[in-house]
Structure 1
Amino acid sequence: MTTRLYNFNPGPAALPLEVLEEAKETTVQYGGRGISIMEMSHRSKPVEQLAAVTEQLLLELMGLQQDRYRALFMGGGASAQFAMLPLNFLAEGLAADYILSGSFSEKALQEAQFIGSTRKAASTKDEQWQRTPDVSSLQVKADTAYVHMTTNNTIEGSRFNVFPETGDVPLIADMTSDLLGRDIDYRRFSMIYAGAQKNIGPAGITAVIIRKELLERGSKHIPLIWRYATYANNDSLYNTPPVHALYLTNLVLQWTKRQGGVKQLEAVNRAKAALLYDAIDQSGGFYQGIIAKADRSDMNITWRLADKQLERLFVQESEQYGFEGLAGHRSVGGIRASAYNAVPVEACQALADFMTDFQLRHG
């Protein structure tokens, strides 16, 4: 068997090896039924049961009650949610408030601007996204449809540690890169959405966790396929879902539970990130952290070197040593290590050691 790489890709990202092994064993035949899960009708009992159990498991891991929330599964990634959210809830005469903390929050705002009235509630763009906005005293106006935020910024490597108080106004979050990666009081949010390809499954499926009372407020004047209520009323099976991706998501959620759940994974993730941040902070400036220390993400660790040539050399050498996915996003450059739930501690230790060795050779 080929030696597996240390996978720091930002998404599609690392999946637990035991999940991949289990999925491999069931690729040809699922549940003793003579065919693969990929071949089954989404109207069949096994797929209906898979969708129901996966919803229950996700809500359980998030500490949410099934009588108050639904977990829906659909395609299109978080990018589709950027448009679907305002289509459902940005009614005429209201405005949506967007907290801007990085590239993806800007993209969410951009889509909403095609649909209705929006406001920039807070932004740190003029600081090159080096910290997250202070939202501790955010003022929410009476005509606010919802407040939107991106809790962890995949590209920049920052995260919110404080969330705004919005009263009766729905607080809605893109949690694509930190859902189940840290212990958050998810009950504070009326809706959460996340592309699965970071912490909860493979690319191709998107989770939407939404309060039932918010579901009832969705627009009745948009096509059925764009309504959250449609997916809820059909238990995520209104149209053919990415069944295999749903199956893998179920396996990842089972793995998450076996690890001890979100609290235990948060502790491990904090230790993994500390290995890399220590290598940065103790390098005497050879490695330069990008984000203010108080706002650093445990999921996406970002840094720079003295110049682009040295950064290219770092990436080239890292690949020779078995590291994958360390080049920063093409829009910002630099170096980025995405240490999601399935990235083992050993991978982060190996990267920290490589960073020290690289500095000794090129510093």
Structure 2
Amino acid sequence: MSALFSPIKLRGLTLENRVVVSPMCQYSAEDGVPTDWHFTHINNLALSGAAMFCIEATHVEAIGRITPGCLGLYSDASEAALKQILSSVRKYSHTAIAMQLAHAGRKASSARPWDGGQLIPLEQGGWQTVAPSAIPHKEGEAAPLALDSAGLKRIREAFVDAAKRATRIGIDAIELHGAHGYLMHEFLSPLSNRRTDEYGGSLQNRMRFPLEIFEAVRAVFPENKPVGMRVSSTDWVEGGWDLGQTIEFAKALKARGVDWIDASSGGVSPLQKITLGPGYQVQFADAIKRETGVPTIAVGLITEAKHAEEIVASGKADMVALGRAMLYEPRWGWHAAAALGGEVEAPPQYWRSQPSTQKALFGRTTFGAR
């Protein structure tokens, strides 16, 4: 039996396999509201064969968006549009729908990647960013405003409000974005957090705000639904956040009821030095799982079914999340199941697509269609 295509239970949510579609920013929202692009994108990848699809970084306030095109869940308009998309998805798919809640901190107010991806100045339509400390992400950029107690309270409450909206639209799970140099990671890393109050300095202090956000979200999201956290396991910069600190953070999250750790890396400093390769971050998921017992998700240039199978079967991670590979091959899960002897669900409209040489690839379900 394929380990990758075996079930896993996260609180009251049972996933039929260990394949996850990673949250991937589409930069196609309008004032935080999803558009027809999101309707197409999410409906398409909900049929990938993955047991869970995670909606892209969904920002909890307007100034927390990475770009002007980034998704948000801070308005009634966005809530209504996302509810409509989820209603469409669930007519034909049993895939669990998660959402990554995020705040970009000092990396907000940036141009879309295809427009250069750099910080947008105020005079060109950008906005004032916020961060733990008034330290710019890159030399020469305008500095963010250091958050005061009122700003910290506002952001905590924005995460709570977004979690409540996610509950109302029927999201199955939440992942908090504590990675890639965005706000919660900025608090964790000594490279970006130079505060002298209770939110800076020691590891315990630097973890305080992300843990407060986790606790606040966990308190308002339904008890039977899981909440995970994406982390950058290392900054890849000497003197920065590292795996040892990540493990301590994961232990603190475990004590507060975290359901998984999504182990990524980097993003807080342009000085990072990363050697890329297939599965280059699996080592982090493995170490976090071994040291804490928290279920982990492995990410990072995982593209081949046999590689994903080995990661799960060997116990290095409990799940595997794919991003670019899913965009390139939106039926990745189908092909992986065929290669590994697994089974996936597919809508009856597509059953005839299965090659005659494959047996029992598709679970025979109508997905509730009438």
User: Which has the bigger relative contact order, CA under 8 A and spacing at least 6?
Assistant: 1
Q: Tell me the TM-score normalized by structure 1.
A: 0.27
Point out the structure with max Rg over C-alpha.
1
